[in-house]
Structure 1
Amino acid sequence: MIRRMLLILLLSLTACSTSQAIATKPVELTVAAASDLTPAFKEIGSLFTERTGIQVVFNFGSTGQLAQQIERGAPFDIFYAANKSFIEELATNGVIDPNTMTVYAQGRITIWTRADQPLRPQQLSDLLDPAYKRIAIANPEHAPYGQAAREALERAGVWDQLKDRLVFGENIAQTLTIADTGNVEVAIVALSLSVQSSGRWVLIPAELHPDHPLIQMAAVVKGTKHADVARQFMEFVNSPDGHKIMKKYGFILPGEIVEPTR
Structure 2
Amino acid sequence: MANNNLRFLNSILVLAAVLGLWRPVEAGAGDLKIAAASDLTFAFKDVTAQFEKQTGNTIKLAYGSSGNFFAQIQNGAPFDLFFSADVEYPKKLAALGLIEPGSIYEYASGKLVVWVPNGSKLDLSHGLETLLDPGIRKIAIANPLHAPYGAAAVSAIREAGIYDKVNSKFVLGENISQTAQFVQSGNADIGILALSLAVAPAMKDEGRYVEVPTEDYPPIIQAAAILKSSRNKELANQFMKFIKQPDTVALMARYGFSIPTAAEDGATAAPH
Assess same fold via TM > 0.5.
yes
d(CA) in 2 for partners of 1:45, 1:257 = 19
Matches within 5 A, 1:129-208: 129-196=133-200, 197=203, 198-208=206-216
Give the deviation of 1:6 after TM superposition: 9.6
Three-state SS of the structure 2 residue aligned to 1:233 is: helix
Matched residue count: 256
Cα 1:23–1:168 change in 2 (3 A) is: closer
Write the mapping of 1:1-262 to structure 2, written as runs, cut at 5 A. Answer: 4=4, 8=8, 12=12, 19=22, 22=25, 27-122=30-125, 123-196=127-200, 197=203, 198-210=206-218, 213-255=219-261
- CA distances 1:120-145 after superposition (whole Å, capped 9, x unpaired): 32311121111111100000010000
CA-to-aligned-CA distance 1:133-182 (integer Å, 9 cap, x gap): 11000000100000000000000001110000110000000000000001
- Compute the TM-score of the two structures, normalised by the length of structure 2: 0.86
Is there any run of 5+ residues in structure 2 with no aligned partner, and where? Answer: 265-272
- Contact conserved, 1:106 with 1:251, CA < 8 A, in 2? yes
Aligned-residue sequence identity (percent) comes to 40
Task: Indicate if the aligned counterparts of 2:144 and 2:154 stay in contact, CA closer than 8 A.
Answer: yes
For 1:107, give the aligned amino acid: G
Distance 1:24 1:115, change over 3 A: closer
Calculate the TM-score normalised by the size of structure 1.
Answer: 0.89
Whether the 8 Å contact between 1:106 and 1:257 is mirrored in structure 2 is no
Is the deviation greater in 54-63 or in 3-12?
3-12
Does the 8 Å contact 2:106/2:263 carry over to 1? no
Gaps of 5+ in 1: none
**Aligned equivalents of 1:218, 1:202: Cα separation in 2:** 28
The separation in 1 between residues aligned to 2:198 and 2:169, in whole angstroms, is: 22
Cα distance, 1:24 vs structure 2: 10
* Residue 27 (structure 1) shift: 0.7
How far off is 1:19 after superposition? 3.2
